[in-house]
Amino acid sequence: MKLICLQENFKKGLINVSNITGKNLTLPILNNILLNADKKQLKLSTTDLEMAIISQIQCKIEKEGNITVPAKLLVNFINNLPNNKIDVSVKNNVISLKCENYNSSIKGLEAKDFPIIPKIKSEPIIEIDSFEFKSALEQVINFVSISDIRPEISGVLFDFNNEKKAKFVATDSFRLGEKILDIKNSKIKKEEIRLIIIPYKTVQELIRIISNTENSLLQISIENNQILFNVGETQIISRLIEGNYPNYQQLIAKQFDTVVTIKRDDLIKAVKIGSFFSSKINDVRLKINSKKSQIEVFSQDIELGENSSEIKGEIKGKDVEIIFNHKYLLDGLNNINTEKVIIGFNGETSPGIIRPESKDDFTYIIMPIKL
């Protein structure tokens, strides 16, 4: 293999693919990056056997070939080179890199020992603006369960069962976020609409790579329980999580005994201050008083003391007192960007429902703490 590549292009490709390497002790080759040069471009590939990332970079290819190289060493070396052309050559499983007055030889492993990355040949079932897609995922990803006890909630649900709207859902059983994204201007095949669950790590990598890529169309293809995300010059191939996602819709009440409309920033500030006085279970108590059109945010710790904050709001329905985990409450509020939020309650033991005041594209469900 012999080629000439710009440091800037090489560095960008390595940033896209290297994040899932360096963590495998039983299969050392998974800590390597596969470099494959064909007639037109250099292809960088990595995998952890659950997910693979492939990124193409434009180079001047003088001789085709391939090799796998330790990711950490290659990334550190390329990142610290000057922004100039790099001469790359491979002989006897050693890759030589030259840039200005810097020369390096790195011992690699044969490409034939690298795991085979699945190829998805199916046509895309959807094409969508990559930044819009990323923004939707960012609103729900923090609610994914980090435990493997229930695999079906250890990822994000993609619901493509509507030709005009896509839903993204994540839960850890204590709270749940649902984001609805308008896809009416995107291409989606009616016969391909479905429910799929994407692993948390895959969603993380997708968000990261889109963030490092110029805004473009994201294409999604599915085949044999594998999903392909194609954005810019990079592809992510991942397994899907098998199983049935919980029927969360039954938790979203259509009517509420108490409905509160309140300024989001005021409630965030009161809950943050209340969190300083919260007990070890991170509890804050909301006391809803309809006559005074007031919400009291109360917290108490035997060793620290207590705090009470009063906020004015529009309240319809019954008075209610309900206890929430302040971290979970703030997570929901911080994922809403409207001036006011609407919160629905059905007593102290039923989940609270939080939505933006003027939009219906995000719903946050938070389970109360029962003392």
For residue range 352-368, what is the model confidence (pLDDT) as tens digits?
A: 999 999 888 999 999 99
**Range with the poorest average pLDDT among 12-16, 25-29, 79-83, 301-305:** 25-29
**Is the predicted pLDDT of residue 184 greater than 80, yes or no?**
no
Q: Is the pLDDT of residue 347 over 70?
A: yes
| Per-residue pLDDT tens over the stretch 101-117 | 999 999 999 999 999 99
| Pairing of the two strands 175-182 and 258-263 | unpaired
Strand partners, 235: 54, 230
Among candidate residues 5, 4, 23, 10, the one with its CA nearest the CA of residue 72: 23
User: pLDDT band for position 185 (50/70/90)?
Assistant: low
Distance CA 54, CA 230 (A): 10
Between CA 140 and CA 367 the distance in angstroms is 16
Statement: residue 144 has pLDDT above 70:
yes
pLDDT of residue 63: 94
* C-alpha separations of 82 from 9, 27, 100, 101, 195 in Å: 12, 33, 8, 10, 47
> Sign of the CA dihedral 228, 219, 11, 211?
negative
pLDDT in the model for residue 124: 86
User: What's the CA gap between 158 and 124, in Å, rounded?
Assistant: 15
The closest of 363, 291, 298, 355 to 324, measured between CA atoms, is 298
Do residues 236 and 229 touch, judged by C-beta distance below 8 A? yes
CA gap 33, 47 in Å, rounded: 8
Which pLDDT value is given to residue 162? Answer: 74
Band (pLDDT 50/70/90 cuts) for residue 68 is: very high
Helix, strand, coil percentages in the chain from 3-state DSSP, rounded to 5: 25, 45, 35
> CA-CA distance, 324 to 364, in Å (whole number)?
13
pLDDT of residue 190: 56
Q: What is the pLDDT of residue 188?
A: 63
Closest CA to 199 of 25, 52, 327: 52
**Per-chain mean pLDDT for the chain:** 93
Question: Which residue is listed with tokens 């990822």?
Answer: 155
H or E stretch covering 45: strand 41-47
Measured distance CA(133)–CA(338) in Å, rounded: 19
Per-residue pLDDT for 27 more than 70? Answer: yes
Domains annotated for the chain, with CATH where assigned, are 2-113 (3.10.150.10), 126-248 (3.10.150.10), 252-366 (3.10.150.10)
- Distance between CA 326 and CA 65 in Å, rounded? 56
Tens-place pLDDT, residues 252-262: 998 999 999 99
Q: What percent of the chain has pLDDT over 70?
A: 97
Question: What is the C-alpha to C-alpha distance for residues 364 and 352, in angstroms, rounded to an integer?
Answer: 8
Torsion of CA 248, 252, 254, 256, to 10 degrees: 150
Distance CA 293, CA 53 (A): 53
Query: If we measure between CA atoms, which residue out of 59, 99, 55 comes closest to residue 80?
Result: 99
pLDDT band, residue 39 (cuts 50/70/90): confident
Rounded average pLDDT over 181-205: 79
pTM of the model: 0.92
Q: Residue 96 has which token pair?
A: 């030589």
Q: Give 125's pLDDT tier (boundaries 50, 70, 90).
A: confident
**pLDDT for 30 beyond 90:** yes
- C-beta atoms surrounding 353 within 10 Å: 21
